[in-house]
Structure 1
Amino acid sequence: MNKILIITHTADNFSIEKVTEYIAQNECEVIRFDVDLYPLNNKLTTSFQNGKWETFLETTDAKHRLDDISAVWYRRAYNIGRGLKDELEPKFYGAAMGEIRNTLFGFLESIDVYSLGKPSVYRRLDSKEEQLKIADKIGLKVPETCITNSADEAKKFILKHKNVVAKMQTGFAIYEDGVENVVFTNVVNEEKLDELDSLLYCPMQFQKMIEKKREFRVTVVGRDVFAFEIDSQQFDEAKVDWRKDGVNLIDKWKQTQLPKDVEDKVLELLDVYNVDYGALDIIVSPQDEYYFIEINAAGEFFWLDNLTEGNLISKSIADVLCDKAPRRDNVVLA
């Protein structure tokens, strides 16, 4: 029986269970590696002896051999080393975490089988600038953009385009008193020019504000494209960034289809990156122009999966992992 390794964490959502169910239907076995239990509860060992590489994962329940897995899904790597800070003296904690991360990610990069996501792939897809340049090159429309830490350049861009949105290029959050405050996309106009001097310390991405007729969230798995739309302009909190009102909108998305030419370019984008998963944000203007905003290497899909008949996104992920559906060849080691 083929074994599929899923890299995630104990607080991940039910999408893991759904994918696991479909993997079982494909007569494959799932090994789940919760990285927040590493290293205090999970033990990972790789050895090279007598000309042979072997890797074992020891959990509280079992000992799994990993050098003979057939595929891996690198889903999440949250809270690695949870609880370790309470076990070590502060002077040792930073060094230990460095070794832990290097060991875990080194293992993930070296897996010589099909991988749906890798740390190096996620790092590359973190570059919003590269995304926009590739999307533009293959013919997707992208908003006029300025990425800068220069207040003067940002001011010139804003004065030219009048209404501009500002956003961070990463999953940016500020933690205060134990509370996570996510930095959403916000409108910047001429009235806020005096606030731009702080760019010196932290660059931002500015884009010409596109009037929205509809917004699309497009999840691509292999060659399968799952498109959902929402009229975010009906909801005050969601007009600039639908995530601000994401909980209230969770059941208001509708499954739809992209125009064939746009869908072809979306698939071409994943071809360029040689990945089999991506969650794209696309804006449709009142003139029915489709603007690519970004692609998320591990973007969430569970709330959209529930809107399909039989959790089809989870099924598609399972089929790709079990080699039951077309996939791009992204094996790194020969």
Structure 2
Amino acid sequence: MILIISDRRDIHAYFVVVELEKLGIEYGFLNGADFPTSMTMSQSIGEGADLCTFSLEDGSVAKSSEVHAVWYRKPGLPRLHPETGPHEREFAFGESREGLRGLYDALRHAYWISPLDNINKASNKLRQLRTAARLGFNVPRTVYTNDPTTARAFISNIAGGVIYKPVGDGALFERAGRWDPGTVVGEIYASLLDQSTIEAGISRFSACPALFQEYIEKDVELRVTVVGRSVFAAELDSQSHQDASVDWRRGDVLAIEHRVHELPIEVRQKCVSLVEELDLEFGAIDMIKCKDGRYVFLEINPNGQYLWIEDMTGLKISRAIAEQLQRGHEEAIRRGRACQVPC
């Protein structure tokens, strides 16, 4: 069985489900937010036993040993019972979260797109830049610092403008605690800085460090989605929209013209190598194609959105994910059978 771990509100999961059904592959759906209120789970360990069972969205019960491939998409946080008291919520959330981590560990024998620990490690943008540079990508000159002297020296050496961008996901949340999924009250995008903004930011370094990066003139922006060794490249004509010219996420992305982009073979190979080097099976890479023809790496989202790209370009990304899960599923079954053969 293929297990899809995601929030049912994420429409990406259903597009892949359609493709799995076309392939005739059994799948189950699990959302971590259902635990412990409406999802049951048991893990029995000791005296030679290691059994993990859990309920799926359709009410059926599955064993971890029955799962041969996992697509870890976008599950919600554990949703606690409304009668849980205010002093108990932090404890109950932690107990539920650790139980889910134990479930994922019980599924470590399966093929994953992508393993959760690998997604978390690959999400670090500084690691991404280092890895991309080591693989031969062009990367913007970048500094992350809370030292005013370092920041000013870096900025003084950049002739074409400097941008600020968050190292994290850029969302500003209002939360009641770790157990609260929170409400997004604002978002921080990549921003081209003027001198007064630079000085204001540097004056607050003791409160929060910053990442500065040279601004690079663009011909088009690229979203390159890698699934296994398959590469799907789309170009976004963000420079035709003033509000999207620095960061296309600021504008109405559906108003930006999208086209299929033919990457040079060496850039395609580097994109695949980057995903492999970060121990991922999927990656959504943001790049720039410069006016002089150079390709510049910006960042990679190890679990990024892609459905709007598929809708606007016709690139068959959901199909590729389903087929990659199928291959991983079949390989996991073969490995399991091989382990049962005496050496």
Alignment TM-score, normalising by the size of structure 1: 0.90
Aligned equivalent of 1:295: 300
* Equivalent position amino acid for 2:73 in 1: R
Post-superposition offset of 1:179: 4.8
CA contact (8 A) 1:222 1:327 kept: no
Is contact 2:20-2:322 (8 Å) kept?
Answer: yes
Residues 149, 202 of structure 1: 8 Å contact kept: yes
Change (3 A) 1:253 1:288: same
Match of 2:74 in 1: 76
Give 2:29's match in structure 1, choosing from 32, 38, 49.
32
Q: Among residues 102, 105, 112, which one is paired with 1:106 in the alignment?
A: 102
Aligned to 2:188: 183
Which residues in structure 2 correspond to 1:169-208 (within 5 Å)?
A: 169-175=167-173, 178-196=183-201, 197-208=203-214
CA–CA separation in structure 2 for the residues paired with 1:165 and 1:76: 29
**Unpaired runs of at least 5, structure 2:** 176-182
| 1:283-323 alpha-carbon deviations (Å, 9 max, x no partner) | 111111110001110010010122354x6101100011111
> TM-score with structure 2 length normalisation?
0.87
> Does the 8 A contact of 1:215 with 1:232 survive in 2?
yes
Equivalences for residues 179-258 of structure 1 within 5 A:
179-196=184-201, 197-249=203-255, 252-258=257-263
The one-letter amino acid paired with 1:107 is: L
Q: Which of residues 286, 301, 304 is equivalent to 1:281?
A: 286
Superposed CA deviations along residues 213-259 of structure 1, whole A, max 9, x for unmatched, are 11000000011100000121110110110001144436x21112111
Match of 1:92 among 88, 93, 113: 88
Which portions of structure 1, spanning 4 or more consecutive aligned residues, are displaced by more than 4 angstroms? 176-179, 324-328
The Cα of 1:56 is off from its aligned counterpart by 1.5
In 1, Cα distance between equivalents of 2:167 and 2:102? 25
- Give the unaligned 5+ runs of structure 1: none
Aligned partner (choices 163, 185, 189) of residue 165 of structure 1: 163
Whether 1:41 and 2:45 are equivalent positions in the alignment is no
Q: Tell me, in whole angstroms, the C-alpha distance in 2 between the residues paired with 1:106 and 1:122.
A: 17
Aligned to 2:300, the other structure's residue is in SS state: strand
Q: Is residue 122–residue 297 contact of structure 1 (8 Å, CA) maintained in 2?
A: yes
* Deviating more after overlay: 50-59 vs 198-207: 50-59
Secondary structure of the corresponding residue to residue 75 of structure 2: coil
Percent identical pairs in the alignment equals 29
- Residue 322 of structure 1: SS of its match in structure 2? helix
CA RMSD of aligned residues (A): 2.4
Q: Between Structure 1 and Structure 2, how many residues are aligned?
A: 323
1:155 maps onto 2:165 in alignment: no
Q: Which amino acid aligns with 1:230?
A: L
Cα distance, 1:40 vs structure 2: 0.5
Shift of 1:76: 1.1
Contact 2:110 2:329 (8 Å CA) reproduced: no
1:78-111 superposed Cα distances (whole Å, 9 cap, x missing partner): 2x12244x32112211122112112212321341
